[in-house]
Chain A
Amino acid sequence: MNFDAFLPAAIVLSSMIPGALIFFLKEESHRLRTVLNMTGALVKLVLVIWMIWGVYDGHSYETRLTLAPGIDLVLSADALSVLFVALSTLLWLVTTIYAIGYLEDSPNRSRFFGFFSLCVSATVGIALSGTLLTFVVFYEILTLATYPLVAHRGTPDAARGAKIYLAYTMGGGALLLVGAIWLQALVGPVEFTQGGILGNAPEEIRGTLVIIFFVLLGGLGVKAALVPLHGWLPQAMVAPAPVSALLHAVAVVKAGAFGIVRVVYDVYGVQFAHSNGLLFALGIIASITIIYGSLMALTQDSLKKRLAYSTVSQVSYIALGASIFGPIATIGGVVHLVHQGLMKITLFFCAGNYAEALGVHKVSEMDGVGKRMPGTSLAFTLGALGMIGIPPVAGFVSKWYLGLGAAEAGANWVLAVLVASSLLNAAYFLPILYKTWFRPTPTQWPAEHPHPGRLEIGGALLWPPLITAALALAAGLFAAAPFTPLEWASLIAEREYGR
């Protein structure tokens, strides 16, 4: 087997194998576990960089495993998948560091890190899926791998949250499965192809294809937290902070959003979806979700829940981008896949830090945290500003392209949605920032765990948010430089519309 045919599989395995090994480790073997984790993460990073280079050069990588006649498991790399893979790999590395610091001295870490690695493997598998079948396979594995993470703490709350999470995702998985099989029964094996495969589908099955689109959307919408399928997301907040970070920025919601992008562009084809009114329907759903999520975020006092609803809202930008016909909006949606990830993971890291160091869980308790934890708060501020869409943080770039694309497509109502949403974002983030920096520090924090070193909190917890915040800033500042998410997204859009 030559290397090109093995690389996609190797990228998946580079986290799956360490993950499987970690289960067998004794609880006390910190060092070995850390070594395994970090080796996996670094190897994956190296492999992904290799792949980016290759894809940019027009190389194609494909691992194909025939399960049964006509049923192939295909991992392949195109521009879109590489973007998502790169995001997952990078953020996995950072999150692993964070998690090692966060979970110090808590029980069942072998189990935790095992599933953590599986979760990333599944995400990368989703990113690299070359067929709808493969996508479904990894989509379900992701459900399986995240359930233990959500339930990890073992409290009754965690059990409840995990149960709700499972009920939603299993239901969604079932829908996706039915949709995928239905599609395959109709048109044969569904391989993701730039420009879609249904362009010349016979007229008489078009109606069915539209129904299937909504079945698939129902399945993907659960993970992407489209209203009204978002109910699990706030409940899943019971998970440990690194898990929330991963779930919101990289793994679960992103998998759903990525799936929607895939289905629209590479299965149905944007042309087909546009001419059959699918894009419009998707746009409506995404817009409702954006507004609803922001409104809900406004009412939350719990910091993590506010962030969770913010995710509901922000992830739908990706769907929104996909729903506007035209390459510029596509760029906006696709690039937001990365930008939202960077910003949201920063915010969750910070929320974890506040909770860990000061016992601060609620927005109302955040008075003056900026003075007490300046590093964390700086990162938080950057993330929040980015979410609102203030230049030069990455979020601005996404919104700019989305708006431009909407204007170009003549969808003025989308512009209204964007403006409204940005105002709402500001309404729920700015008060936090105000509290953080401009309110006096209280005499007593809810539950303070002073850190012995000279930093405000352990380095493993402080550096990850700073790094991701810096990346979010850089992605906005240097948006036009080569190899930025924006440039890559343009490449994707070019290829999708090019053919």
Chain B
Amino acid sequence: MSELLLLFDLLLTVTLLVLATAAIMSREPRRAVILYIAFGLLLALVWARLRAPDLALAEAAIGAGLSGALMLAAARRATAAKRQHASQPGTKGETS
């Protein structure tokens, strides 16, 4: 039982880290955001496993859901703008 649980925990953790890395490494904004949402949902699942159902709900609704929706809209705008001003040199949405 305990070994099985540990295996499950390991699996969750590895998936979580892989998703996070994928979200971070993705250059394409839309793809990055979608990966981030997936990461958030998985995180919610992990938290449910860690006996934090309230947080799981909140993370799914707010962390992954609303943040994701907000960023998705922004990513969509960015992609559209990039297509529009393809010829124009610029540093859209960049801050360094």
Instruction: Indicate if A touches B (C-beta under 8 A).
Output: no
Residues of B within 8 A of A (CB): none
Residues of A within 8 A of B (CB): none
